[in-house]
Amino acid sequence: MERRHRRRRRFRRAGAAAVAVAGATVLVVGLAQAGTASPGTGGARDASAAAAARPMENLGRGVVAVRSDSDSVLVSWRLLGLDPEGIGFNVYRSTAGGSWTKLNGSVLTGGTNFVDSAADLGRSNSYRVRPVVDGEEGEPSGAFTLGANAAAEPVVRVPLREGGRIQFSWVGDLDGDGEYDYVVDRHGTQQRIEAYRGDGTFLWEVDMGPNSRDQNNIEGGSSTIDVGHNDGVTVYDFDGDGRAEVAVRIANGVTFGDGSTYNGLPDNTRQAMAILDGVTGAARATAPVPTDFVSDGPMYARFAACHLDGTTPSLVAYMKNRVGSGGFNLMVTAWDFDGSSVDMRWKWLRNGNHPDGHNSRCLDVDGDGDDEFAEIGFVLDGDGSLLYSMGGRGIVHGDRFHIADMDPSRPGLEGYGVQQDNPSGLHEYYYDAASGELIWEHYGSGADVGRGMAGDIDPNHPGMEVWSFDGLYNAPGNRLTEPNTNLRPWPQMGLWWDGDITMELFNSGKIEKWDPDNPTPTNSLPRLDQTWDYGGVLGPRSQPVLLGDIHGDWREEVVLPNGSYNELLVFTTDRPSDTRLYTLAHNPAYRNDMTVKGYMQSHHVDYYLGAGMTQPPRPDISYAGGGSGR
C-alpha cells in the first residue's frame, strides 16, 4: 500500500549570516544552534531511538596543505558539526622537524583555511591547528607534512601497491584515528579489494575469488563487484564503535584479509553479506542473501549506508538479476551489524510499477528524522514499506536523479530526474521529495536523456538550477535561464571548489565554472583546472573513483588514480575562501551519499547550499564511539 507524506516536518530555517568584506558578500555559516515488505531477523529497535541524535564519525581536523604557487601554501582544516559557536583557530608550522611556530596574528574566525607565504619550501613543512574557545587554546590537531620542494599542484598523492585497474574508492576511518582511510577495488581476471591508511600504508587485500571472473555488466559472477551501475561494496561505521567496517556482497571462494576463504553456501549461485574488519579485512560477520530470485542466477548489488530509525546505521542493498532475456527482479534488503552478527532487518520485493534507475540515494526525504531509501521512481520508508511510487504518474526508468533543497523558499526537499525513452515523451521532471507529487515536467521527442544535474550555478535566480540536454532551468521558477539550449553546462557532476557558495562543475577531468553573465557553449566553459595535467585517469563514463569532502574545509575533493594505478591523486582546492561551513561529511544526507556508487552523481546536503543561503541548522548528530570531538 502506498503511504502518502503524513508526518510533521522538522526542517528548520535560520537567519542570514552574511557580512560585507571588501565589497563582496562573505557568508559565515555552520555555527547555528506498492511493493511487499517483510521483516528480517534483526528484531524491532527501541521506539525512542529515532528521537536520539544520530551518531556520526568522530572526525579530526583533517588538516591538509598544498602548494598553490611558487611561494605560497594553502592550509585547510575542518570545522566540525558540533564545534561550539564562536570557535576560532590558530595555525602552526614546523619546518624540517623544528619547533612549532604560530603563523596567524589574531585568532582565525572566518573560513577554515590560511595562506602561508613565508615558508621555506625547499625544506619539509608540517602544519597543524589548535582550536580556540573562549580565549583558551585547545589540544593540537594531527599534522600534515608538505614535503621539501613539493610541486605546486592542487593534489595530495597517496601511494598504492602495483595492481589492476581501479574503478571505485571509498573512505572511512578504518583505524579510529579520526581521519579518513581509503578502500579501492582492483579489476583483473579475478577482482580484489584493498585497504590503505590515509598516508598510503597498505592494510589488507580481499580476493573476490573465481566467482568474480565473469564481469558482464548485467549478468555476471556471484562475487563480481563494481560493474555497470552496481557496486556491492561500501565503507561505514555500522556498529558505532568509532571504526569503519567494509561491507561486501560475497560468494564461495572469497579470501578475506586474514587469509581465510569463505565456502559457507551450498552452491556458487547463492550469495552472502559480509562485514569486514576495517584494519585487518577479516570477516567479522556473514549472513546469507535471501534466495527469492536465485532461480534466475546471482544478483548484482548497490549499497548505501542509511540511518533507517534516525539513529543506528544500516546497510541497504539494492539487488537485481535478469529474468531470462527480459525484465529484472528487484529486491531491496536492510541489514544491521551489532559488532558480532549481521542480521536482515527487512526485505522488499518489487511487485508493481515502481521504476528504478542507475543510482540510489538514502536521506530523510520527509523530515521525520528517519532516513528513507530513494530510487528514481519510488521511495521506501525506514521500515521497508513503500512510502510512494511515481510509476503511476508517468515516470519510467532513467539514469540520474537528485534530491536536495533546491528551492529555499519552499519547505522541504525537492527532486529532479531524467528519463530513458519515456513513451510519453517526458524528458525531465521536478517533484516534491516527501510525496512524489510532480511540480513540473518537460516533454520532447522520445530520447534517452542520459544525464541530468542539479546545483546552484546562477546567483541571479533564487534556488538551484537543473539541466540535462534540453537547456538550463531555474528549478523553482521552471524558467529557461538561457534560451539557446547549447548555452548550458555539460550535465556531469557538481563540485564545490573555488570558495564561493555557488557550485563548480567536474566534467571529463575538467574543473569548470558556469558564468551566468557571459554564457558560453558547453564545450567552452571557463576552466579552473584540468586533472590530466597532474596524471589523473578517468574511469567509465568519465567518472572519478570518488568525489566528496575528504579533508580540509567544507569544499570537496576529487579522487582519480594515476595511469599506472599505483597512486591515488586526491585533488583538493588550492584557493582560499572566507566561507565558513561545517564539514559536509557531518551532514547526514551528504555522508550517506558518499557511500553510494552506481552511475556516480553529485552529493547534496539536506539544507540549501547556494547563493543567498541562510545559516544552516546545526546537525542533529552525536559522535560515534562516545567521542566528544577532537
CATH number at 346 reads 2.130.10.10
Q: Is residue 548 part of a domain?
A: yes
Cell 558556469 belongs to 514
Residues 113 and 196 in one domain: no
CB count in 10 Å sphere of residue 578: 17
pLDDT at 180 over 70: yes
Residues 99 and 226 in one domain: no
d(CA 503, CA 495): 6
In the structure, what pLDDT confidence band is assigned to residue 52 with cuts at 50, 70 and 90?
confident
Cell 536492510 belongs to 334
- The reported pLDDT for the residue numbered 3 is 37
Residues 99 and 125 in one domain: yes
Helix or strand or coil: residue 534? helix
Residue 126 is placed in which grid cell? 608540517
Residue 379 is placed in which grid cell? 521511495
In the structure, what pLDDT confidence band is assigned to residue 484 with cuts at 50, 70 and 90?
confident
Helix or strand or coil: residue 540? helix
End-to-end CA distance of the chain: 46
Residues 417 and 538 in one domain: yes
| C-alpha angle 266-270-272 in degrees, rounded to nearest 5 | 100
Residues 320 and 399 in one domain: no
CATH number for the domain that contains residue 70: 2.60.40.10
Q: How many Å is the Cα radius of gyration of the chain? A: 23
Strand partners, 27: 18
pLDDT at 18 over 50: no
Write b or e for each residue in 248-273: b if 16 or more Cβ atoms lie within 10 A of its Cβ, otherwise e.
bbbbbbbbbbeeeebeebeebbbbbb
Q: Is residue 45 part of a domain?
A: no
Residues 215 and 265 in one domain: yes
Whether 161 and 200 have beta carbons less than 8 Å apart is answered as no
Residues 141 and 176 in one domain: no
Write b or e for each residue in 345-356: b if 16 or more Cβ atoms lie within 10 A of its Cβ, otherwise e.
bbbbbbeeebbb
Residues 175 and 308 in one domain: yes
Closest to 418 measured CA to CA, from 490, 469, 351, 474: 469
Write b or e for each residue in 176-197: b if 16 or more Cβ atoms lie within 10 A of its Cβ, otherwise e.
bbbbbbbbbbbbeebbbbbbbb
Q: Is residue 481 part of a domain?
A: yes
Contacts of 313 (CB under 8 A, 6+ apart): 55, 236, 237, 238, 240, 305, 306, 307
This prediction's pTM: 0.93
Residues 81 and 11 in one domain: no
Whether 405 and 606 have beta carbons less than 8 Å apart is answered as yes
Amino acid code (one letter) for 93: R
Q: Is residue 600 part of a domain?
A: yes
Strand partners, 380: 373, 386
In the structure, what pLDDT confidence band is assigned to residue 36 with cuts at 50, 70 and 90?
low
Strand partners, 303: 317
Distances (CA, A) of 515 to 456, 466, 523, 612: 12, 15, 13, 17
d(CA 40, CA 107): 53
Q: Is 43 exposed, middle or buried (0-12, 13-18, 19+ CB in 10 A)?
A: exposed
- Residue-wise pLDDT for 295-343, tens only, equals 999 999 999 999 999 999 999 999 999 998 889 999 999 999 999 999 9
Residue 563 is placed in which grid cell? 595511469
Whether 386 and 400 have beta carbons less than 8 Å apart is answered as no
What is the β-pairing status of strands 621-623 and 54-56? parallel
d(CA 155, CA 533): 11
Number of folded domains in the chain? 3
- Residue-wise pLDDT for 120-149, tens only, equals 999 999 999 999 999 999 999 999 999 999
- What would the mean pLDDT of 251-267 be, rounded to a whole number? 98
Amino acid code (one letter) for 588: P
d(CA 368, CA 563): 46
d(CA 498, CA 570): 16
Q: Is residue 467 part of a domain?
A: yes
Q: Phi/psi zone of residue 357: left (φ > 0), alpha (ψ -120 to 50 degrees), beta? A: beta
Q: Is residue 40 part of a domain?
A: no
Whether 588 and 564 have beta carbons less than 8 Å apart is answered as no
Q: What is the mean pLDDT of the chain?
A: 91
- Tell which of 352, 371, 403 closes a domain: 352
Residues 189 and 283 in one domain: yes
Whether 251 and 298 have beta carbons less than 8 Å apart is answered as yes
Percentage of the chain beyond pLDDT 90 is 85
- What would the mean pLDDT of 584-604 be, rounded to a whole number? 96
Give the range of the structural domain holding residue 135, as residue numbers without chain letter. 64-155
Q: Is residue 85 part of a domain?
A: yes
- Tell which of 322, 352, 382 closes a domain: 352
Closest to 143 measured CA to CA, from 192, 93, 193, 181: 93
In the structure, what pLDDT confidence band is assigned to residue 15 with cuts at 50, 70 and 90?
very low
Residues 332 and 415 in one domain: no
- Tell which of 291, 318, 352 closes a domain: 352
Beta strands in 155-231 (DSSP E): 155-159, 169-172, 181-186, 192-196, 202-207
- Residue-wise pLDDT for 142-169, tens only, equals 999 999 999 999 999 999 999 999 999 9
- Residue-wise pLDDT for 60-97, tens only, equals 999 999 999 999 999 999 999 999 999 999 999 999 99
d(CA 46, CA 185): 37
Residues 430 and 565 in one domain: yes
d(CA 468, CA 477): 16
Eight-state DSSP code of residue 536: B
Amino acid code (one letter) for 506: F
Contacts of 154 (CB under 8 A, 6+ apart): 66, 68, 529, 534, 571, 572, 573, 574
- Residue-wise pLDDT for 272-294, tens only, equals 999 999 999 999 999 999 999 99
Eight-state DSSP code of residue 593: H
pLDDT at 49 over 60: no
- The reported pLDDT for the residue numbered 44 is 37
d(CA 79, CA 61): 7
Q: Is residue 47 part of a domain?
A: no
Q: Is 64 exposed, middle or buried (0-12, 13-18, 19+ CB in 10 A)?
A: buried
